[in-house]
Structure 1
Amino acid sequence: MISVVIPCYNASQFVQRAIDSSLSQTYQDIEIILVDNNSVDNTWEFLKKAAASHPEKIRIFRETKAGASAARNRGLYEAKGEWIQFLDADDELLPDKLENQATIIRQYQPELIIEDFDLISKSETGESSTISRIANENPWMGLITVRLGCTCSNLWQKELLMKVGGWNEDIRSSLEYDLLFRILQVEPRLYFSHKRKTIAYVQQESVCKSSDKEKLQEILNNRIELSLKIQKYLRSEGRLTAELKKASNLYIYRELLRYSMEIPRYAREKRKKLPAGLPLAARIKAYKKHVGAVYYKNHERSLLKYPQIAYYLLKDIHLF
């Protein structure tokens, strides 16, 4: 059996899509676990109606400890299935997603299936764009570069999740990659599927637009600290290749760039505490690839006339 775990927080307006996509799976040996996580709208009433409509498939629970990790862990512990499909309340699965992965389980006996997915976002004008996220089959490179599937596209063996302690309830960001880091350390059997059977939706008010500076600082800090922790682990195991180290440093630099506009002072202070460095050419290449489009495509002024850009390119930006 596969247990579909859907954490819900103020999700009454959109969780029906996630529920319907689960009920529509061609693979029918499933249960659906809906976990309300302190919603203040009518989510709980909505979930009760859903369970009443499909009592043979749906079970509902309330988790009072705040956070997606606590809600997912509650679903994990309540699950009857040997495999866990986590599904965010605003995302959806294509009808044959679980059937394809069940076939993989029968043929290859993996402990974790890592799968590609499509990411759909809407602009402020309402235009939709789709990005296909392709996993890197070098698991450590995929972990470092955030190319190792996602919470909802991957299929997780319950026994493996329990072995590593489930989701970390002490952090609020970098949740899935913290989990994947702990999983890779026990060296499970992996299978990489390049079928895209999951659609993840990016909300218009993304975290990068948040006015909560403390939240942004926490996100940036968690991402950098996790990257450094991965480097430290790989070094201790004699597995930190030059390629992996460079990829990790580039990731950290790109995250500093990404948040430099919203929390410039914090990003500068974080930068000062990081040892070692990236060459200027690598910094310029990273900038052009990840945040240069706005300036290169829409402006004719010199790159170095932008003070934020000049600071990040010309200052001695130190990285581990």
Structure 2
Amino acid sequence: MSGAAPLVSVITANYNGAKYLAPAIRSVLRQTLADLELIIADDCSTDDSLAVIEAEVAGDPRVRVLKARRNGGPGAARNRALKAARGRYIAVFDSDDLMAPERLEKLVARARVDHADIVVDNLLLFQDDGAAPWRAFLCQKAWNHPRWITLADYIEAGRMYSRQPGLGYLKPLFSAEILKGETYREDLRIGEDYDLVLRLLAHGARMRFLPDALYRYRKHGASISHVMRREHIEQMLAADAALEIEKRAQCEAVRRAQERRRRSLETALVYDRVICALKARQVGEALGACAAEPAVWPLLTMPVTARLKRLAAPRANA
């Protein structure tokens, strides 16, 4: 690809997202910041994704499509897009979401003014079927103004079943400089966004929050974040453990937050065991697991819809 490098590279992993791709692409190409490129890493889709992209792009030279020979998962798809990105900033964007027209312009401005390595904005959540009104993801008073997000903040909000909204949902704008040498873990099918940002913060990256809800986060049944399996939790525990040596040099607040996150993931494993035992009518085994891990009891009293919501992790390629 010839010409000067763009200011922003928008990277999008896609797998069978044909239903939502057209409006997603339009929301990128109609940004007030036009100095951009859109890199779509298709993860071997079996639907009409490629045809939809071709029709929507209509020869726009700012768009590149990277086609995979086999399905490698969201981390692998995003890594291919990262490798191809040429921008000074890199924005992560899911293929079923939308963004406000001024979003990239505002994020870049915030990064420049505050000398931030990572900038995130609030999310505006909307249901695909229109069944519920649009709402802001972070609606507590603490998120009504620009602020720095520390490593301890980020880990604390990453606990399973926490009352705090998970900051791993937020879609970052990265400085390309801070990403050098860092890639997504390809063995993570859920939580790969959280893991990458966590590593960057552990290495000293500065993360700034913009309270404007400029990212439109679509909620629908086809998202893989609605399916949390035991192996996903085990993968997240392994990924966290890989950073333990680095975290030993961190402050006490970070160590405490990480311990609470570890315990929450371990509780989630026990919860999964209890549910499987109950489904198999093995009541004795379920009661034994609950007795060994009392933290599971409150989870069993939550309404089913609340449990599913709290189990949902940041989406990858939809």
Give the TM-score category using the shorter length: 0.7 to 0.9
Moved more, 130-139 or 1-10: 130-139
> Could you tell me which of 216, 223, 227 is aligned with 1:199?
216
User: Is 1:28 matched with 2:34?
Assistant: yes
- Going from structure 1 to structure 2, the CA distance change for 1:208 and 1:54 (only over 3 Å counts) comes to closer
CA distance in 1, matches of 2:271, 2:207: 31
TM-score (norm 2): 0.72
CA distance in 2, matches of 1:183, 1:5: 18
User: Is 1:9 matched with 2:15?
Assistant: yes
User: Is 1:105 matched with 2:114?
Assistant: no
What are the residue-to-residue correspondences of 1:305-320 with 2, within 5 Å? none
**Secondary structure of the structure 2 residue equivalent to 1:118:** strand
- Going from structure 1 to structure 2, the CA distance change for 1:129 and 1:92 (only over 3 Å counts) comes to closer
Question: 2:176 is aligned with what amino acid?
Answer: K
Q: Which position in structure 1 is the counterpart of 2:260?
A: 247
CA contact (8 A) 2:150 2:201 kept: no
What are the residue-to-residue correspondences of 1:38-49 with 2, within 5 Å? 38-49=44-55
Q: State the structure with bigger RCO (CA 8 A, min sep 6), 1 or 2.
A: 2
CA contact (8 A) 1:120 1:130 kept: yes
CA distance in 2, matches of 1:126, 1:261: 32
CA distance in 1, matches of 2:270, 2:196: 25
Q: Which position in structure 2 is the counterpart of 1:154?
A: 172
CA distance in 1, matches of 2:54, 2:34: 21
Structure 2: stretches of 5+ with no match in the other structure:
1-6, 159-164, 279-284, 307-318
Q: Which position in structure 2 is the counterpart of 1:143?
A: 155
**Secondary structure of the structure 1 residue equivalent to 2:229:** helix
When the two chains are superposed, the root-mean-square deviation of aligned CA atoms in Å is: 3.6
CA contact (8 A) 2:38 2:62 kept: yes
- Going from structure 1 to structure 2, the CA distance change for 1:224 and 1:191 (only over 3 Å counts) comes to same
Q: Which position in structure 2 is the counterpart of 1:220?
A: 233
**Secondary structure of the structure 2 residue equivalent to 1:171:** coil
* Identical positions, percent: 19
Superposed CA offset, 1:109-165 (max 9, x none): 221113332333468x9445645137783322313422674466210122222322x
Q: Which position in structure 2 is the counterpart of 1:170?
A: 187
**Secondary structure of the structure 2 residue equivalent to 1:13:** helix
**Structure with larger Rg:** 1
What are the residue-to-residue correspondences of 1:291-306 with 2, within 5 Å? 292-294=301-303
- Going from structure 1 to structure 2, the CA distance change for 1:262 and 1:230 (only over 3 Å counts) comes to farther
CA contact (8 A) 1:63 1:74 kept: no
Question: 1:145 is aligned with what amino acid?
Answer: A
4+ residue segments displaced more than 6 Å:
none
1:22 deviates by 0.6
TM-score (norm 1): 0.72
Structure 1: stretches of 5+ with no match in the other structure:
298-320
**Secondary structure of the structure 1 residue equivalent to 2:65:** strand
CA contact (8 A) 1:87 1:151 kept: no
1:90 deviates by 0.4
- Going from structure 1 to structure 2, the CA distance change for 1:264 and 1:26 (only over 3 Å counts) comes to farther
**Secondary structure of the structure 1 residue equivalent to 2:125:** strand
**Secondary structure of the structure 1 residue equivalent to 2:137:** strand
Q: Which position in structure 1 is the counterpart of 2:86?
A: 80
